[in-house]
Amino acid sequence: MDRDNKLLKCILDAGELILKSGGEINRVEDTMTRMCRAYGFLQIEAFAISSFMFLTVTTRDNRILTQTRRVREYDTNLQRVDRMNQLAREVCADPLEPEALEKKIREIQELKVRSHRSMALLYGGIAAVFSVFYGGGAREAAVAGGVGICLYFLLYFLEHLLENGILRYAFCSGAGSLLLCLLRKSGVYFMADAVIMGNIMLLIPGLVFTNSIRDMLNGDTMTGLLRVCESLLRTVAIAAGFIFVMTLFGFSVETQQARAVWVRMILQILTAGAGAVGFAMMFQLGGKRLLLIGCGGAVSWGIFLFMQSWGHTLSGLFFAVLAAAAVGEIAARRLKTPVLVIEVPLLIPLIPGGDLYRMMVSVMREGIQQSMEEIVWLVQEVFLIGAGVILMSALASIFVKGLRRIRNGIEVWER
C-alpha cells in the first residue's frame, strides 16, 4: 500500500473511531476533511451516516482514491472522542507520517476503560440515584441499585447473542421488571414506580437523541432522522418491556413518598448532579470535568424546579435545557473539547424518563385514546429539549463567528 492509501486508511480509522465512540456525524466528516486537507489532498469528499463511511480524495498527481467503511458495532466512549479531537488538531498543525499517525490512533483505541466491576457498580449507583430523584427512599435505592447491576451484566451477556439493539433493550427491561416482580412476590416491599423509573434512565438513549438533534442542525437530516427513529423505538421498547411484565404480574403503581417541598427540591437537585456525574463516568470521562458536569446538572435542574414552582413547567424545562447547553458550549471552547463531551451528561437529568414511564402505564391500562394528554405532554417535552439544544448551538455559532470577524476587522485596521 502506497503512502497516500495508508494515509487515507488512517484518516478513515480516525473517523470510524469517533463514530463508534458516540461522536456526531458532522464531527466525523469535518475531522476527516480537515485531516485530508492537512496532508495536501485535493477535492475531498467525506460522507458518513450512522452505519457507513465514504471518503474520496484527489491526490496532487491527479489520482482519485476512494475507501469505504461499514460500521456495525458501537461502544460509547466520550474520552476517545475527546482524545481523537485533540489528535486531529495536532495533525492539522503538524502532519504526522502514516506509521506515526496509525500508532497514535491505535493508542486512543486502546485507552484503558473502566472494568466490568466498576461499570456494574456505576449502573447500580445511577439507578439508585435516579430512584431517589423520582421520589423513592433508601429501600427503593437499594432495590434499584441491585437491579441496575443485574441489567449491566445482562446487557453485556446479550451484546453478542442478540444483535438487534431494540430487542436487546426490550428484553433487558422486561427481565429487570421480572426481577422486581419476584422480589415483590418474595415479600420485599418497595415503591415500584421509583425503582422502575430509576432503571429506565439507565437504558434511555440520551446520547443518540442528543446527537440526532445536532445532526439535523448541521444539515445531516437523513442521519438525524435515522437516529431519532432509533432512539424513539428503543425508548418505547424499554418502557414497554418494564410495563408489560409489570402489568402481567399485577404490579400496583404507588404514589411518591410524602415529603416537604423543600426536602424534595434539595434531594432532586443533589441527585440530578450526581446522576449527571454518573453518566459522565459511564461514558469514560473523569477529572475536573466531573465537578463541572455535576454542578451544571444540579444548577440546570434547579432552574427547572424554580420555574415549575411558579407554574411554568414546560418553559422551565426549556430554560433549563438552555442553561445546560450554554454550559456545554462555553466549557467546550474553554477546554478545547467537543461540545457533546460536556453537554450530553448535563442533559441526562432533563430527559423525561418519569413522564415516559407514566405515559406507558397509561397506554397499557387505558389505551391510546385515553392517554393522548400524556402522549402530547411527552412530545412537547422532547420538542422543547431539542429546540433548546438547537437554539443555544445556533447562538454560540453566531457569537463565535461574529467575534472572529470583529477580531479580523481589528487586525486589518491595525495594519
> How far apart are alpha carbons 161 and 159 in whole angstroms?
6
Asked, for residue 159, whether it belongs to a domain, the answer is: yes
Q: Are residues 205 and 98 in the same domain?
A: no
- Domain containing residue 95: 3-109
Q: Are residues 156 and 79 in the same domain?
A: no
Cβ distance 352 to 313 under 8 Å?
A: no
Can you read off the three cell numbers belonging to residue 135? 421520589
Percent of the chain exceeding pLDDT 90 equals 33
Q: What is the pLDDT of residue 252?
A: 61
Q: Are residues 311 and 392 in the same domain?
A: yes
Q: Please check the confidence at residue 120 and state whether its pLDDT lies above 90.
A: yes
Q: Are residues 166 and 221 in the same domain?
A: yes
Cβ distance 376 to 355 under 8 Å?
A: no
Cβ distance 350 to 385 under 8 Å?
A: yes
Asked, for residue 408, whether it belongs to a domain, the answer is: no
Q: Are residues 301 and 350 in the same domain?
A: yes
Can you read off the three cell numbers belonging to residue 58? 484527489
> How far apart are alpha carbons 369 and 15 in whole angstroms?
45
Question: Average pLDDT over the chain, rounded to whole?
Answer: 85
Residue pLDDT, tens place only, 281-320: 999 998 889 999 999 999 999 999 999 888 888 999 999 9
Asked, for residue 283, whether it belongs to a domain, the answer is: yes
Q: Are residues 351 and 282 in the same domain?
A: yes
Residue pLDDT, tens place only, 184-222: 888 888 887 888 888 888 887 766 777 777 677 666 677
Q: What is the pLDDT of residue 371?
A: 78
**Three-state DSSP class for residue 66:** strand
Q: If you write DSSP's letter for every residue of 267-325 in order, what string do you get?
A: HHHHHHHHHHHHHHHHTT--THHHHHHHHHHHHHHHHHHHHHHTT-HHHHHHHHHHHHH
Q: Are residues 201 and 277 in the same domain?
A: yes
Q: What is the pLDDT of residue 397?
A: 84
Residue pLDDT, tens place only, 329-361: 999 888 888 888 999 899 989 988 777 777 777
Cα end-to-end distance, the chain, whole Å: 48
The kind and range of the H/E element at 236 are helix 221-248
Q: For residue 165, with 0-12 CB atoms within 10 Å meaning exposed, 13-18 middle and 19 or more buried, which class applies?
A: middle
Q: Are residues 359 and 231 in the same domain?
A: yes
Q: Are residues 238 and 179 in the same domain?
A: yes
Domain boundary among 40, 74, 109: 109
Q: 254 falls in which pLDDT band (50, 70, 90)? A: low
Q: Please check the confidence at residue 49 and state whether its pLDDT lies above 60.
A: yes
Asked, for residue 244, whether it belongs to a domain, the answer is: yes
Q: Are residues 390 and 249 in the same domain?
A: yes
Q: Are residues 150 and 76 in the same domain?
A: no
Asked, for residue 414, whether it belongs to a domain, the answer is: no
Q: Are residues 143 and 66 in the same domain?
A: no
Asked, for residue 409, whether it belongs to a domain, the answer is: no
**Three-state DSSP class for residue 43:** strand
Q: What is the pLDDT of residue 396?
A: 87
User: How many distinct structural domains can be found in the chain?
Assistant: 2
Q: Please check the confidence at residue 269 and state whether its pLDDT lies above 70.
A: yes
Domain boundary among 93, 109, 125: 109
Domain boundary among 77, 109, 141: 109
Cβ distance 232 to 291 under 8 Å?
A: no
Q: Please check the confidence at residue 132 and state whether its pLDDT lies above 80.
A: yes
Residue pLDDT, tens place only, 37-48: 999 898 899 988
Asked, for residue 317, whether it belongs to a domain, the answer is: yes
Can you read off the three cell numbers belonging to residue 310? 411558579
Q: What is the pLDDT of residue 13?
A: 93
Using the structure block, give the residue that is written with the C-alpha cell 450554554. 326
- The more confidently predicted of residues 326 and 414 is 326
Cβ distance 34 to 18 under 8 Å?
A: no
> How far apart are alpha carbons 15 and 33 in whole angstroms?
10
> How far apart are alpha carbons 3 and 409 in whole angstroms?
41
What backbone torsions phi and psi does residue 219 show, to the nearest 5 degrees?
A: 95, 0
Asked, for residue 209, whether it belongs to a domain, the answer is: yes
Residue pLDDT, tens place only, 136-160: 888 899 999 999 999 999 988 887 7
Give this prediction's pTM.
Answer: 0.89
